[in-house]
Each structure stands twice: as structure tokens, then as C-alpha cells.
Amino acid sequence: MKTHYNTIIIGAGPAGLTAGIYLARAKSSTLILDSGVAGGQMILTHEIANYPGIESISGYQLSSNMRNQAKKFGCDIMSGIEIVSIDFESTLKSLTLSNGKSFSADTIILSTGGRSRTLGVPGESNFKGRGISYCATCDGDFFQDKEIAVVGGGNTALEEAVSLTKYASKITLIHQFDHFQAFKHAEEEVKSNDKIDIQLNSKIVAFNGNEKLESVIVENLLTHEQYELRLDGVFIFIGYEANTDFLRGKCIALNERNEIITNEKLETNIPGVFAAGDALQKRFRQITTAVSDGTIAALYALEYINQQKQKTVTA
């Protein structure tokens, strides 16, 4: 494996893989690094039915397709890595991994995505993986004919609640507001499903159990009354946080939610450093928006590389 590349992409979700496909196809040497496995949050999605040109596909399969396509065009991909130091402010960007390997690049694309947001209430950390899950695809079949709850009111929460009805005998959908923040068709699907009981203006304030989750305490936010709901599992879909911990206190500008700030070219405040995908400061986060970001970041990265080459020739 080389130690210098035209572009190093940090994050192998749909944004990073798309950027890699465009760069490598343009014969620009590209390294994609990821702390997990290629696919990002996409790999956890049971079914993707709104990706243009594909009627239905699993997140795992779409991730695999994108990864194979990037590799076919010539991307080097490293998974399970940890970045311990970075220097993005120099003309030649560089980073070092926990295994001691160091790489340099002319440009960087940050496509680190996000992670599931937690409720942060008593008992949640105790029952992660023992009744509490953040991934329906991973854990849904463990709750065959069981009673569970789903927390959240966005598209993901509603779509996964419907998906989980294939397994669970009953689902209580708990949302803190008096309305959903989801597309109309997702809301209609939930309301028409006999297995789903909707509890609005409500929140979970505690998780209880011994070896595994046995019940939750739910509070009605209008009356402040609390009641115990006995169940076998809880799936939490309340969004996620940007994976930018390694950038905090560094040179890259972040907003108050630690999302990466960019301009319309997806340039960060550091020349030669671009960003794409769900770690950005933006409103909509879908696979298609991540793919769009990856395309734009790659094309502007190529433009930047060519400009730098021209400056060198002129000098």
C-alpha cells in the first residue's frame, strides 16, 4: 500500500464510497479509511426502497455494491482503523493511525457520518444489548412474538416500527411531541397498522430489569403522570450525532452540534479539506443526499488538485 495519495477519504459510508468511486475513476489515487466496516449507517438498514433506479435493496447489499465498485476502480480501503493524529493545515495533509502507519495526501474528504443518539436516562447504559437496541435490522428477529417499544417520531422511527411488526406481537410507539416529523406516507403506514399503539406527548424516563430489560417508566408530558410499561425490548431512533470527536479542538470549523461547516463547494475552512455526508451541517440526511455530497466533494477535490499542479508548473 502506498503512503501518499491524491486524496484520503475518512469515512466509508455512502458519501465516502461515492467520492472514492468518482476520484478513482478519474485515475486519482485514493485511500478510504473507516473506523468500522464500509457502509456506515446504511449497512444497518433492513430495506432501502427510495434509492433511484432500485426498487428494493438491503443496506448491507447496497454497501457491498458501492465498496466493490470503489475497489474495482482502484480505491485502497482500510477498515477498523483509529486516527491518532492529523495535520490538515499544511499544504501536504497527513495523518497517523494507532498501528503506527502514516499517510499523506494532497486533499482530504471528511465523510465520517454519525452515530445513534441515546436518551440518556437511568438504566439505558445497563440494558444496551440486553433489551435496548438502536438497530432493527441487527436485533429485530430476537423479538419474535414479543412486546416492544419504539422511541422517536422521524422517518426512521416510523419506518422501523412498521418493519418490526414482522417480528413483534405489539409495538408501542413513544414520541415526545404531539405530531410526527416524518413523511406523510410513513405516518399513514404507522396509523393503519393494528400492531402499533401510538403514545404522543410521552417519554421514557427510566429502564428497569434484572439480567435483561423488563419494563420502562413512561411519563405523559402534558399531565406529568407516570406509568410502568412491561415489555421485552426498546428500539431507539432519535437521530444521531456527528462522528467528529477526533476533530474537536483541531483546525476544522464545527458548529455547536459538532457538525462540519462547509461552503457550497463542500470546502471546510482549511484549503484542500472537503467534507461530505451526514457529519455536515445540514438539514436533510438520506443516502441520496450523502451520495450527492460525495460526488460534489470529489469533483471539487479533483479541481483543487489540478489547480495545485498548475501552480507548481507555473512556479
Look up 75 and say whether it is catalytic.
no
Helix axes 184-191, 155-164, angle to 10 degrees: 30
Catalytic residue among 106, 139, 278, 293: 139
CB burial of residue 132 (10 Å; 0-12, 13-18, 19+): buried
Catalytic residue among 138, 141, 178, 251: 138
Classify residue 239 as left (phi > 0), alpha (psi -120 to 50) or beta: left
Nearest CA to 75 out of 18, 27, 11, 30 is that of 30
What gap in Å lies between CA 291 and CA 17, rounded to an integer? 8
Question: Of all helices (H) and strands (E), which one includes residue 292?
Answer: helix 287-314
- b/e code 216-254 from CB counts within 10 Å (16+ = b): bbbbeeeeeeeeebebbbbbbbbebbbbbebbeeeebeb
Nearest CA to 167 out of 187, 138, 192, 189 is that of 138
Classify residue 123 as left (phi > 0), alpha (psi -120 to 50) or beta: left
What gap in Å lies between CA 279 and CA 243, rounded to an integer? 6
Amino acid, single-letter form, for residue 82: E
Look up 138 and say whether it is catalytic.
yes
Catalytic residues, by residue number, are 135, 138-139
